[in-house]
Structures are given as C-alpha cells and as structure tokens.
Chain A
Amino acid sequence: MSGGPAVVIIGAAREPTTSLAADLRRLEYRPKLIAWPASSLRVAGARPIAAIVDFRTLGVDAGQACRAARQERGLRDSPVIALVAEEEAARLDLALGFDDLILAPYRLSELAARLRLLQWRAEQRSAPGVIRAGPVTINQATYEVAVGGVPIELTLKEYQLLLYLMRNPGRVFTRSELLDRVWEEDYFGGTRTVDVHIRRLRAKMEAAGELLETVRGVGYRLVIPSEQEA
C-alpha cells in the first residue's frame, strides 16, 4: 500500500472507476474508493487533497454525490472534481457544486499535473504562517490580519471569509458556495449575508478592499494582485 496523499473517489465499484483507482496508485496517491450510494463519506486519516466524483459510473446519481461531498465535514476543504466522459461534457449541469472537471478519457500526465497543483494548494493552506495577497496578510498562527502592515480588527466570520478567499486566490465563488463553506450548517441567514460581510470587509480593508472583486451575476473572488495590475 502506498503512503502518498489521500484522494477520495466516489463512484460505482466497477470499471472504469476501478482503473482510475489503479492509475492514482500508479501516481503514488492513496485512493479511497467509496461506492455510491454510501451512508457516510467520512474518511479516516489525513484530509484528502481532492474528492473525484466519477460521473461515468454514477450517471444520474452524480449530482447527489457532489452535494454529499460538499456537505461532508471531513471533505470541507477538499475540492470536488467531476470526472466526465468527453461526449457528456456539453450537457453537464455546472450548478452541481463541483470545483473543477477532468474529461475522460484523460491522459495520465494531465491527471498527475492537476493533482500536483491541488496538493501544492493544500500544502499552502496547511502551512502555518502567513498568507499574502498584495498588501493584505493573514498570520494564521496569531490570527492577525494586516493591510500594509497595519493590523485591522475583524469579526470571526469576516476573518473566516477573508481567509477562505485568500486560500483560493483568483477563484470565483458564488454566494451560496461561500455560505456553504464559511458559515455553519445551522446558520439561517441567506446569501445576502455574504454581501453584507464582503461590504464590511471592504470598508475595513480600505483601498485594499478592491482585491475583493464582485463578479457580476455570479459572486466574488479574490483578485490576484499581479493580475490586477495587468
């Protein structure tokens, strides 16, 4: 058994999902195949770097599997990857809640490259220390947030929201995605709450508030500063 980073596969326990597991092992990952429908998506041990939902063997159940992966606490910070047959891609419902997709048949080198990127991001996240975006820094050890070296005071939710966006720079999130990932499950506010928090964050960050970009009709993203200058 290899000891590499864990990757969850949600699919049916048959071909071609089983070959995907074999491919991952070949790339020195530790695949954990969960046969759908499953009562629990809980995975023991270290946090998986991704959850791959195999649309090829799940068919119409794939959407449900994506949602379940999204809600599973242990997979909270693991991106959900849809693995979709090339000819199905055009019909794919993009609102199912996955973060990225891989078209099948995939090339092993592509799978390797994508997983390497995810692993790098995961390491960035778990690295104790400072995350930066332009003038904004978050010290994850001391929970200190500063703009241009000057500390700013954030409420717990403002902090968690900014941290989440800064851990995923450049990525566009819908309001409901942010609500799912930053707020508690028993929270009764809706997506407008996200707007309220973004507004307060922008006010506190002053000029650096521009980094929190509204993507019209979609949601928000943290602009990667170099791309802002371009």
Chain B
Amino acid sequence: MAMRQEQVEYLMSKAKEQDVKFVRFWFTDILGFLKSFAITVEELELSLLEGQGFDGSSIQGFARIDESDMVAMPDPNTFAVLPWRPKEGGAVARMFCDILEPDGTPHVGDPRYVLKRTLQRAADMGFTYYVGPELEYFYFRESSSRPQTLDSGGYFDLTPLDIASDLRRETVLTLEEMGIGVEYSHHEVAPSQHEIDLRYTDALTMADNAMTYRLVVKEIALKHGCYATFMPKPLYGENGNGMHTHQSLFQGDRNAFFDSGAEDHLSETARRFIAGLLRHAREMTLVTNQWVNSYKRLVPGYEAPIYMSWARRNRSDLIRVPTYKPGKENATRIEYRAPDPACNPYLAFAVMLAAGLEGVENGYECPPPVERNVYEMTPEERAELGIGELPGDLWEAIEVAESSELLRRTLGDHVFEKFIANKKIEWDNYRAQVTEYELDRYLPIL
C-alpha cells in the first residue's frame, strides 16, 4: 500500500504537535494476543513509507520454516495517542499494522489479512459488512487463581459507592478519546460483570477497536489496582463472558437485510445469511470460542446459546433478530450469540461473514424461527425441528473444524493448520490435568 505523501505529512505533524516520542506498532497473533514493538518518532516517517522489519519467528502462528523476516506496515488511519501513558517526556502513540513479507506481499499468517480477504469476497458480491460486538468482562481484585469480585450487583444495577462504575466511566472516556465510539455501558447479570457496547462500524475497524478495547479495559483496571478479565467463564455458577455480535450487510446506502415487503421485514439475503450461520455454526465454533474454558460458558442456564436455532424475541437462541422498529430499516440486523470476548476478533468476524455469505451465495434455505424456549424442549422435539447443538467441548470443536472446507478456505491453509495444531496441544495439556473438582468429588469416595 503506497502511502500518500499528504497522509505521512499529516501524521508527522500530529506526532510533533502532540509531543509523541514513541510509536507502538500493534498487530495480532493467530490466537488474538496483541503484539507490539516501539519505534522512536525519528524513525516514523521512513516506517510509514516502507514499513518496519522485525523477526517474526517467535510470533504464534506466523513463522514458516526458515523464514522469519517480516515487515510491519502501519495503517495511517489507526494513529492514536495512548491516553493512559504519561505525557511528560514525550507521549506514546499506537498504529495497527499489516504484516508483509519482505517483498511486500501480505503475510498469510496475519489475522488482519485473513479478515481483509473475506471482506474482499463480500465486496466482490457487492456487500459491506458491519458489526457491533458486545464484549462482556469481569473486574476482580487481582489476577490470582481465586477471583474475588468487586461488587455484588446484577443486570443494569446502579451500584452506589461502587468503584466499578468509576472504572467503567473512565474506560468509556478513554475509548472515546482514542476515537472509538461507545453506544452504552452497563452492569451485567453476574456480580462484578460489565459490558461496554461499541458503536457499529465496518468489520476491519471493529476488529482493531476490539483489540484496543480489551487493552483499555485492562489498563484502566490496572491503574486502579484491580484486574479485568475476558475469560469466558471465570466463575462457576455465574454467567460467563460473551461477545454477542450484531451484524448486517449493506449494498451502498441500503441495508441488504431489510425488505419492506416481507412480513417480518427480513430480506431473502438476511434469511440466507442466517441459514449460512446456522449451517456452519459448529465448524466455526473453534474460532469464535477457542479455549478449553470457552465451553464452560456454553452450558444451559446462563443465557449462553447451545442449540442452533434462531428467533426474534427469544434470547436463548444462537441467533436473535431484534424486532424491527418503523423507520429504522438501517438497524435491521442479526445477533450471533456464541462468540466469547477471548476470541481473535479478526478471525471471528472473518468466519461469521464467510458462513453467512456461503448461505447467500448458495441460496441456503432458512429454517423457520423458533419462538419457544429450546431449552425446555425434549431432545426428540429438537430433533424433529432439526435443531442441532454446538460442540460440547474443545475437542469436539477441533474435530468438526478439522473437517471443515469452509474454515480452511476462509482462514487459508497456513492459519487453519497452525490454529488446529495449537488447539490440539491445548486440549492435550488440559485433559491430562487432575482438577480440583475430581479431587473433591472422587478422593473421599474412591
């Protein structure tokens, strides 16, 4: 990507004006961990034009055999000063980077590239993909193995004298300062559980924003001596952390999911997209829910989805379609409720989009919505309605993913193989453990 001289000059002058001394180059490994290295502002101009070389051999999922030289090419639209860093002695800014080979071609292990490729596929079909994720998280007193909550509040509770409200407020202000729009924020269902909803935007910007969001939430918590976590299920017996993702396709100014003529205002495109998500839900769960712990959240009783159905009002389903409000056709959207906020957002958005597009392209038929509570049905009733189940644990998810042609095509061979291999190791490590649960339960009786 050749940068226009005007952009370089603009960023150089901003860096000078805001007394920026260091610029952190951010990118993401395949598991969604934020990676960063810093350059001094003196190097910025050249890096903006040519990128910055680094050794990528130790980045999870990047390196192939005998190749480690990579180039981080900063995206000029992502320049932002980090508000929580001290300004004395020079401020610190960040830019998201694309990872390139030394010859300038995109690196196949770069999750940002995986998403871009899928967005290109949508663009070729005439669509723009917008997402609005809701990332939930917990505040704990520290990151020890025995999490202690900060409050005992519940959903939408306004808790007085509550440090968490201040933390949330400061987090929202920091995000806004970095140019990330916030829709609203509130206390969630479990004690000490919170949610800040980001205002919808295109999926690439949103994946960058989600990475920034996770860091900002943690930084602000740290500043106040506590710990924030996006772990999918940190507390047994309480709700887990989800990342419900609202999504829509637009054709120019027109919401492709809206049809004024349809009885429920859902277009054929929307129905096929839903059908695509439903049909490929099991295959992509490994990406949207990538940890052993993710599957402790996907159990009955805690508002997390298990059964693969869709509905309008019902909130127990995998897909919810918020009710249409007159005059709000642009807000017509689909909410996919399986992902958790510990996923890699680039890969998660890519696989959800790919699954939906698969339905649109191949004209999948959408099953009827299920307005009954699927949890209260008998297994026979569910079978009769053709309602399947998400994988029950990481191993099952690996097995379905491994045979998914769609997943391989969307992630590309390189990321697909690295990702599956990594997850197999995680599963092997986990299954060899003797857990506290087993000791408590079996030691006294066996």
Binding site for B on A (CB under 8 A): 142-144, 153, 155-157, 159-160, 174-176, 184, 186, 188-193, 196, 200
Q: Is B11's CB under 8 angstroms from A190's CB?
A: no
Q: Is A191's CB under 8 angstroms from B253's CB?
A: yes
Is there a chain A Cβ closer than 8 Å to B238's Cβ?
no
Is there a chain A Cβ closer than 8 Å to B14's Cβ?
yes
Known contacts A143-B14, A186-B1, A193 near B77 by CB under 8 Å: no
Known contacts A176-B252, A188-B129; 13 additional CB pairs below 8 A are A155-B77, A155-B79, A156-B10, A159-B10, A175-B253, A189-B204, A190-B128, A190-B130, A190-B202, A192-B202, A193-B201, A193-B205, A200-B179
- Kindly state the interface size class of chain B when it binds its partner: 35 or more
Q: Is B253's CB under 8 angstroms from A188's CB?
A: no
Is there a chain A Cβ closer than 8 Å to B9's Cβ?
yes
Known contacts A156-B11, A156-B76, A188 near B250 by CB under 8 Å: no
Q: Mark B421-436, 1 if CB is under 8 A from A, else 0.
A: 0000000000000000
Across the interface, which residues of A come within 8 angstroms of B123, CB to CB?
188
Distance between Cα atoms of A82 and B250 in the complex (Å): 29
Distance between Cα atoms of A155 and B201 in the complex (Å): 16
Q: Is B128's CB under 8 angstroms from A189's CB?
A: yes
Known contacts A143-B13, A200-B181, A192 near B203 by CB under 8 Å: no
Across the interface, which residues of A come within 8 angstroms of B13, CB to CB?
142-143
Can you show 18 pairs from A to B with CB atoms below 8 A apart? A143-B10, A143-B13, A153-B18, A155-B77, A156-B10, A156-B11, A156-B76, A159-B10, A160-B6, A160-B10, A176-B253, A188-B203, A189-B128, A190-B128, A192-B128, A192-B330, A196-B181, A196-B201
Is there a chain A Cβ closer than 8 Å to B7's Cβ?
yes
Q: Mark B59-80, 1 if CB is under 8 A from A, else 0.
A: 0000000000000000011011
Q: Is A188's CB under 8 angstroms from B119's CB?
A: yes
Q: Mark B193-215, 1 if CB is under 8 A from A, else 0.
A: 00000011111110000000000
Across the interface, which residues of B come within 8 angstroms of A175, CB to CB?
252-253
Q: Is B201's CB under 8 angstroms from A189's CB?
A: yes
Tell me the interface secondary structure of chain A in the complex.
mixed
Across the interface, which residues of B come within 8 angstroms of A191, CB to CB?
128, 250, 252-253
Distance between Cα atoms of A181 and B119 in the complex (Å): 20
What's the least CB distance linking B105 to chain A, in Å?
14
Across the interface, which residues of A come within 8 angstroms of B200, CB to CB?
192
Across the interface, which residues of A come within 8 angstroms of B129, CB to CB?
188
Across the interface, which residues of A come within 8 angstroms of B40, CB to CB?
none
Distance between Cα atoms of A190 and B77 in the complex (Å): 15
Distance between Cα atoms of A159 and B76 in the complex (Å): 12
Is there a chain A Cβ closer than 8 Å to B116's Cβ?
yes
Across the interface, which residues of B come within 8 angstroms of A186, CB to CB?
1, 116
Across the interface, which residues of B come within 8 angstroms of A196, CB to CB?
181, 199, 201
Across the interface, which residues of B come within 8 angstroms of A184, CB to CB?
1
What's the least CB distance linking A42 to chain B, in Å?
15
Is there a chain A Cβ closer than 8 Å to B159's Cβ?
no
Which of chain B's residues has its CB closest to A73's CB?
B4
Is there a chain A Cβ closer than 8 Å to B373's Cβ?
no
What's the least CB distance linking A129 to chain B, in Å?
15
Distance between Cα atoms of A153 and B18 in the complex (Å): 10
Across the interface, which residues of A come within 8 angstroms of B128, CB to CB?
188-192
Is there a chain A Cβ closer than 8 Å to B120's Cβ?
yes
Most chain B CB atoms below 10 A, which of A142, A155, A160: A155
What's the least CB distance linking A75 to chain B, in Å?
15
Known contacts A155-B79, A156-B79, A188 near B179 by CB under 8 Å: no
Distance between Cα atoms of A192 and B11 in the complex (Å): 25
Across the interface, which residues of B come within 8 angstroms of A155, CB to CB?
77, 79-80, 179
Across the interface, which residues of B come within 8 angstroms of A159, CB to CB?
10
Distance between Cα atoms of A166 and B17 in the complex (Å): 23
Q: Which 4 A-B pairs have the closest CB atoms?
A: A190-B128, A189-B202, A188-B119, A143-B13
Distance between Cα atoms of A1 and B79 in the complex (Å): 47
Residues of B201-259 whose CB lies within 8 A of A: 201-205, 250, 252-253
- Which of B1, B17, B120 meets A188, CB within 8 Å? B120
Q: Mark B171-187, 1 if CB is under 8 A from A, else 0.
A: 00000000101000000
- Which of A144, A157, A160, A190 meets B252, CB within 8 Å? A190
Across the interface, which residues of B come within 8 angstroms of A160, CB to CB?
6-7, 10
- Which of A144, A157, A174, A192 meets B250, CB within 8 Å? A192
Which of chain B's residues has its CB closest to A199's CB?
B181
Which of chain A's residues has its CB closest to B250's CB?
A190
Distance between Cα atoms of A159 and B11 in the complex (Å): 11
Q: Is B116's CB under 8 angstroms from A156's CB?
A: no
Q: Mark B122-136, 1 if CB is under 8 A from A, else 0.
A: 110000111000000
Distance between Cα atoms of A144 and B330 in the complex (Å): 35
Across the interface, which residues of A come within 8 angstroms of B201, CB to CB?
189, 192-193, 196
Across the interface, which residues of B come within 8 angstroms of A157, CB to CB?
77
Distance between Cα atoms of A193 and B119 in the complex (Å): 15
Most chain A CB atoms below 10 A, which of B116, B122, B205: B205
Q: Is A156's CB under 8 angstroms from B7's CB?
A: yes
Most chain B CB atoms below 10 A, which of A176, A190, A191, A193: A190
What's the least CB distance linking B279 to chain A, in Å?
25
Q: Is B79's CB under 8 angstroms from A188's CB?
A: no
Known contacts A157-B77, A193-B201, A188 near B10 by CB under 8 Å: no
Across the interface, which residues of B come within 8 angstroms of A200, CB to CB?
179, 181
Residues of B26-61 whose CB lies within 8 A of A: none
Most chain B CB atoms below 10 A, which of A142, A175, A192: A192
What's the least CB distance linking A63 to chain B, in Å?
17
Which of chain A's residues has its CB closest to B199's CB?
A196
